[in-house]
């Protein structure tokens, strides 16, 4: 776990080169104009970066979550918005791999893994965020179809995605009444509401999803009725690793910029890195990045071993996203006035970092997950 194999190093180098080439030329412009470019997604797909953990039989590379984390970190070093895009596109792949039928996998996985199709995940609603089991979107069986009605919030790729994994209520209250469905773009009754104007991740579209008597084939049910909450939680456990990896890449980019600046910038004929106030800050930043990286890699490794990993994924997400916010904020401080301008990327990274502490379960929710694990481990019931 502490050194990369030759194949892993080659993957990292390829991911870095592809990200710089595809994303780098427009990253600043796309942040400022809130522009999502599907052609960049396709370029990342052509480089093999969109189906890392999906089996080769279904069009992916068939690699592990350690490799997935390594790739997302490299993409995030260039633009966290695009690491989030690849991670969100990965959620339907994770779900289909575990819960889909062979027919569903054959229909959707090759396109998602190659970037011919863009995927999305629709769980949150106006009244259900952290309390996901209280969702109110409904799905009613009518013959060989389901009819969906409701509104979904905070949907990454809303309006752009070709297929959405949508959680809807088929039964009574609580998690046992939730089911999961595949809803395709162009489905009659599927519409889109407002696009959110966000602080960060501005090149990643976040749009309201509206379902008004949206009819989908019964074969688009994932698993059985009542499996939806289990589907969602399984995806979120995996997603916490990918958000952690994205935050590590973000933090590394902020550290790279701050450390390089501190070596170039002189005051009183001295590089500012030699002043303890700056040097110690950079040292603490480096410690946070490396700690977060190791914890993310442990969570990814445990998942690859089919070992219990949910509580470690919660730790990794919590530690890595807190580190990303802290390191990006300190990077702005190291650059001083320049850090507050758009001449350098650290102000963008600071804005991007904040939402990482919120998505895939807030960091307060992660602490609940960790505390519950501790209670079970130490005999609390």
Give the tens place of pLDDT for each residue, 283-305.
Answer: 999 999 999 999 999 999 999 99
Domain co-membership, 80 together with 139: no
347 flagged as catalytic: no
| pLDDT score of 346 more than 90 | yes
Q: What is the CATH number of the domain that holds 125?
A: 2.40.110.10
Q: How far apart are CA 115 and CA 113, in angstroms?
A: 6
Domain co-membership, 356 together with 285: yes
Domain co-membership, 162 together with 300: no
Q: Indicate the burial class of 280 (C-beta count within 10 angstroms; 0-12, 13-18, 19 or more).
A: exposed
Domain co-membership, 295 together with 267: yes
Q: Which of 80, 99, 117 is the last residue of a domain?
A: 117
User: Is 146 a member of any domain?
Assistant: yes
| pLDDT score of 381 more than 80 | no
User: Is 40 a member of any domain?
Assistant: yes
Domain co-membership, 291 together with 202: no
For residue 16, give Cα distances in angstroms to 19, 76, 335: 5, 10, 25
Q: How far apart are CA 12 and CA 16, in angstroms?
A: 6
The predicted structure's pLDDT at residue 131: 75
Number of domains in the chain: 3
Q: How far apart are CA 336 and CA 87, in angstroms?
A: 33
Mean pLDDT of 245-273: 97
Q: How far apart are CA 351 and CA 345, in angstroms?
A: 10
Domain co-membership, 255 together with 338: yes
User: Is 91 a member of any domain?
Assistant: yes
Mean pLDDT of 7-12: 97
The predicted structure's pLDDT at residue 380: 79
User: Is 79 a member of any domain?
Assistant: yes
Angle separating helix axes 80-99 and 102-114, nearest 10 degrees:
160
* Per-residue pLDDT tens digits for 174-210: 889 999 999 999 999 999 999 999 999 999 999 999 9
DSSP β-ladder status, 163-169 and 119-122: parallel
Model confidence band, residue 2 (pLDDT cutoffs 50, 70, 90): confident
**Of 125, 208, 347, 360, which is the active-site residue?**
360
Domain co-membership, 113 together with 125: no
Cβ proximity of 257 and 335 under 8 Å: yes
User: Is 1 a member of any domain?
Assistant: no
Would you state the structure tokens that stand for residue 15, as one six-digit string? 């991911």
* Per-residue pLDDT tens digits for 17-44: 999 999 999 999 999 999 999 999 999 9
* Per-residue pLDDT tens digits for 114-148: 999 999 999 999 887 677 778 999 999 999 999 99
Length of the chain: 381
What's the predicted TM-score (pTM) here?
0.95
DSSP-H helix ranges across the chain: 6-23, 27-33, 38-46, 65-78, 80-99, 102-114, 228-264, 276-304, 310-335, 346-356, 363-377
pLDDT-above-90 percentage for the chain: 94
| pLDDT score of 1 more than 70 | no
Domain co-membership, 77 together with 166: no
Q: Which of 211, 226, 241 is the last residue of a domain?
A: 226
Domain co-membership, 240 together with 301: yes
Q: How far apart are CA 192 and CA 166, in angstroms?
A: 14
The predicted structure's pLDDT at residue 187: 97
SS3 178: strand
Range of the domain at 277: 230-377
Place of tokens 């030759």: 6
Mean pLDDT of 61-78: 98
How much is the CA Rg of the chain, to the nearest whole Å?
21
User: Is 76 a member of any domain?
Assistant: yes
The predicted structure's pLDDT at residue 144: 96
User: Is 235 a member of any domain?
Assistant: yes
Q: How far apart are CA 222 and CA 170, in angstroms?
A: 13
Q: Which of 117, 145, 177 is the last residue of a domain?
A: 117
Q: What is the CATH number of the domain that holds 54?
A: 1.10.540.10
The predicted structure's pLDDT at residue 128: 79
User: Is 143 a member of any domain?
Assistant: yes
């Amino acid at each position: 776990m502490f050194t990369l194999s030759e194949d892993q190093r080659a993957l990292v180098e390829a991911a870095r080169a592809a990200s710089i080439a595809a994303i780098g030329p427009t990253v600043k412009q796309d942040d400022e104009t809130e522009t999502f470019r599907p052609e960049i997604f396709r370029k990342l797909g052509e480089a093999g970066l969109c189906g890392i953990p999906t089996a080769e039989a279904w069009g992916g590379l068939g690699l592990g979550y350690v490799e997935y984390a390594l790739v997302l970190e490299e993409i995030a070093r260039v633009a966290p918005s695009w690491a989030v895009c690849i991670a969100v596109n990965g959620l339907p792949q994770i779900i289909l791999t575990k819960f889909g039928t062979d027919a569903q996998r054959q229909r959707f996985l090759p396109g998602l893994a190659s970037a011919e199709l863009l995927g999305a995940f629709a769980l949150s609603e106006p009244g259900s965020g952290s309390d996901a089991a209280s969702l109110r979107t409904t799905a009613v069986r009518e013959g060989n179809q389901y009819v969906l009605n409701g509104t979904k919030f905070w949907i990454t790729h809303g309006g752009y995605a070709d297929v959405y994994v949508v959680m809807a209520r088929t039964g009574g209250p609580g998690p046992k009444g939730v089911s999961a469905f595949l809803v395709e773009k162009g489905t009659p009754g599927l519409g889109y509401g407002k696009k959110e104007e966000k602080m960060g991740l501005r090149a990643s579209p976040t749009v309201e999803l509206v379902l008004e008597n949206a009819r989908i084939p019964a074969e688009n049910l994932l698993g059985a009725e009542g499996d939806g909450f289990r589907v969602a939680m399984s995806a979120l456990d995996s997603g916490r690793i990918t958000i952690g990896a994205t935050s590590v890449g973000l933090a590394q980019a902020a550290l790279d910029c701050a450390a390089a600046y501190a070596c170039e910038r002189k005051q009183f004929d001295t590089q500012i890195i030699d002043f303890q106030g700056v040097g110690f800050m950079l040292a603490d930043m480096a410690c946070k990045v490396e700690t977060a990286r190791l914890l993310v890699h442990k969570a990814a490794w445990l998942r690859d071993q089919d070992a219990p990993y949910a509580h470690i994924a919660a730790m990794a997400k919590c530690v890595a996203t807190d580190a990303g916010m802290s390191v990006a904020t300190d990077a702005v401080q190291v650059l001083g006035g320049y850090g507050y301008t758009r001449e350098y990327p650290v102000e963008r990274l600071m804005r991007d970092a904040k939402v990482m502490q919120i998505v895939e379960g807030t960091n307060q929710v992660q602490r609940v997950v960790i505390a519950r694990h501790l209670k079970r481990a130490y005999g609390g019931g």
